[in-house]
């Protein structure tokens, strides 16, 4: 589910922009506005996903009008979907060491088979029952 939080954008002398979420304990930085928005969304989604994964409380967003800024800083709303990170985390590859007979390894190499792909396909059939 998409969540929206206010973020303070602070332009830096080198053209980068530091982004701070006052309601959360997260900060990021981007090169230029487009990259800063991308980084802010990425940072927010990752932070929210981590909180949910460890069953930590997630504070409610503050109203934009309640946030004070200095100088050239400005506040904007950033949206993010932590479920995207949850799906990526579930699909992250993990390394496993397996043993198989030498003749079977040689046959797989002769046929140019990817053992990882074969194992994934076989396990998917077993798990899904099809």
| Tens-digit pLDDT string for the chain (130 aa) | 889 999 999 999 999 999 999 999 899 999 999 999 999 999 999 999 889 889 999 999 999 999 999 999 999 999 998 787 777 777 777 788 889 999 999 999 999 999 888 988 888 889 887 6
Q: Is the pTM of this model over 0.85?
A: no
Q: Closest by alpha carbon to 37, among 29, 45, 27?
A: 29
**Alpha carbon distance 78, 34 (integer Å):** 13
Measured between alpha carbons, how far is residue 12 from residues 5, 41, 50 in Å?
22, 19, 28
């Amino acid at each position: 589910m998409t969540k929206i939080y206010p973020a303070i954008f602070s332009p830096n002398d080198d053209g980068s922009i530091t982004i701070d979420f006052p309601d959360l304990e997260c900060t990021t930085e981007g090169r230029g506005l487009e990259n800063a928005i991308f980084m802010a969304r990425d940072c927010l989604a990752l932070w929210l996903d981590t909180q949910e994964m460890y069953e930590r409380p997630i504070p409610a967003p503050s109203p934009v009008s309640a946030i004070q800024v200095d100088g050239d800083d400005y506040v904007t709303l950033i949206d993010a979907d932590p479920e995207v990170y949850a799906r990526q985390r579930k699909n992250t590859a993990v390394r496993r060491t397996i043993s198989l007979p030498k003749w079977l390894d040689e046959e797989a190499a002769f046929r140019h088979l990817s053992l990882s792909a074969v194992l994934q396909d076989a396990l998917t059939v077993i798990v899904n029952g099809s």
